[in-house]
Copies of this chain bind each other. A is one copy, B any other.
Amino acid sequence: MKQQRNLLTLASAALLCAACAVPVGMGPGKPAALAIQEQGSFAVGGSVKRTPGNFDPIAQGAYTPTPNPQGQTLHGDHAYVFYQVPANARALPLVFWHGHGQSAKTWESTPDGREGFQNIFLRERYPVYLLDQPRRGRAARSIAPVEIPATPDEQMWFGVFRLGAWPDFYPGVAFSKDAGALEQFFRQAVPNTGPYDVEVNTDAVSALFTKIGPGILVTHSQSGTLGWRTAIKNPNVRAIVSFEPGGDFLFPQGEAPTLTFAGRPFTPPTIPLADFRQLTRLPIVVYYGDNIPDQPSANPGQEQWRVFREAARRWRDTVNRHGGDVTLVELPAVGIRGNTHFPMSDLNNVDVARHMAGWLQQKGLGR
């Protein structure tokens, strides 16, 4: 009940701040100190690339930006994880997994400087694990080479992430109009430092769940589909909270719908029924935000999410028909409005967190 009280308090503060223009977590309403029992970081999973031969520490030992790899190794393809365990912690940790082009920053301070899900759920006494997936951020060492072209692309992301259709924000969008906020949002992007690889990613996060034991996986966007696959690999994934997952929902062979995406057929991937059944053993909640139309749209930043949300509806029904427990929350339908593709950092992220915390409690995951 402490959890409900805390988030209700935060929600009240958010309402107050809508009036007084002081964001939660800043100014007079400064939150109490966090009691952190333990915090630290580590690499987990990954593989090793080896070049044959013998390494000579005299001939090959001097630093050079173009080393002779003979007899040398490269450890790569691991995940990087920063964890914090609050005092008096709940039993099951939250493992936060970012989306495409992002890092664990997704769950830290919001672009406008308020507390993100890292702090909000620490205050709710959940241990938190924030990961950078393989070939990204602080887990950037990849065993496969890559070129990073540094191509300007932010106006595309402004649309795909549903802040608006550049240069206009959607009316009522829950994103700060301060120029500094948009700049921070753009600067939280990070490139792939190796080829994107589903197995590399799911192997590393599965290794994390083997290391830490049972936990709740929280995914975002591209890590949505990676999360389904990780849960199939590792029974320590005891629940999934998925924010705005991509359309690659996994259907049993023969049961995938065919949808229409920008006028063309779109069919989500299928997997063997035995694998699919792993997804019926755990509670799952899927969230989508606002400004997703019901009818096909010429605006690609909306059309994509219309199709993915429709795939989510079909997938919920399919999993539940097979005995699973998927809840799909369309945030406007529960009165939480204006959300972009990043509900965890939108202006109303405390409301979103409160809904998520309620679901965790309802499913008995907050003990």
A16 at the interface (CB under 8 A from B): no
The answer to whether residues A262 and B156 also contact, given A132-B138, A188-B43, A193-B193 and a CB cut-off of 8 A, is no
**List of B residues within 8 angstroms of A147 by Cβ:** 145-148
A40 at the interface (CB under 8 A from B): yes
* CB<8 Å pairs between A and B, sample of 20: A33-B36, A33-B37, A41-B108, A58-B298, A60-B155, A62-B303, A67-B153, A67-B156, A69-B151, A71-B155, A74-B152, A80-B105, A137-B140, A138-B190, A140-B140, A146-B147, A147-B148, A148-B194, A150-B194, A190-B193
CA distance A148 to B65 in the complex (A): 11
Q: Which of A49-57, A328-336, A352-360 contacts B (4 or more CB under 8 A)?
A: A49-57
Size band of the A side of the interface?
35 or more
Contact B150 A61 (CB under 8 A): no
A73 at the interface (CB under 8 A from B): yes
Which residues of A, 16-75, contact B by the 8 Å Cβ criterion?
25, 30, 33-43, 46, 49-51, 55, 57-58, 60-64, 66-67, 69, 71-75
Partner of A145, one of B30, B72, B150, B188: B150
**List of B residues within 8 angstroms of A141 by Cβ:** 150, 187, 189-191
Contact A75 B183 (CB under 8 A): yes
* Max count, chain B CB within 10 A of own CB: residue among A36, A115, A144: A36
Q: Which of A159-167, A227-235, A277-285 contacts B (4 or more CB under 8 A)?
A: A159-167
Contact B154 A145 (CB under 8 A): no
Which residues of A, 182-201, contact B by the 8 Å Cβ criterion?
183-184, 186-191, 193-194
CB distance from A231 to the nearest CB of B (A): 25
Seen from chain A, the residues whose Cβ lies within 8 Å of a Cβ on chain B are: 25, 30, 33-43, 46, 49-51, 55, 57-58, 60-64, 66-67, 69, 71-76, 78, 80, 82, 87, 103-105, 108-109, 113, 115-116, 119, 132, 137-156, 159-160, 165-167, 183-184, 186-191, 193-194, 262, 298-301, 303-304
Partner of A49, one of B72, B115, B150, B183: B150
**List of B residues within 8 angstroms of A72 by Cβ:** 151-156
The answer to whether residues A73 and B152 also contact, given A36-B36, A63-B304, A108-B40 and a CB cut-off of 8 A, is yes
The answer to whether residues A69 and B148 also contact, given A33-B87, A58-B300, A189-B141 and a CB cut-off of 8 A, is no
CA distance A301 to B146 in the complex (A): 29
CB distance from A155 to the nearest CB of B (A): 4
CB distance from A325 to the nearest CB of B (A): 31
Interface of A is mostly: loop
The answer to whether residues A155 and B57 also contact, given A33-B35, A150-B142 and a CB cut-off of 8 A, is yes
CB distance from A178 to the nearest CB of B (A): 13
Partner of A152, one of B38, B50, B184: B50
CA distance A165 to B62 in the complex (A): 11
CB distance from A22 to the nearest CB of B (A): 15
Contact B154 A299 (CB under 8 A): no
CA distance A154 to B69 in the complex (A): 9
CA distance A136 to B17 in the complex (A): 36
**List of B residues within 8 angstroms of A103 by Cβ:** 138
**List of B residues within 8 angstroms of A167 by Cβ:** 55
The answer to whether residues A184 and B62 also contact, given A36-B33, A155-B72, A191-B140 and a CB cut-off of 8 A, is no
CB distance from A167 to the nearest CB of B (A): 8
Across the interface, name the chain B residue whose C-beta is closest to A60: B156
CB distance from A84 to the nearest CB of B (A): 9
Across the interface, name the chain B residue whose C-beta is closest to A55: B155
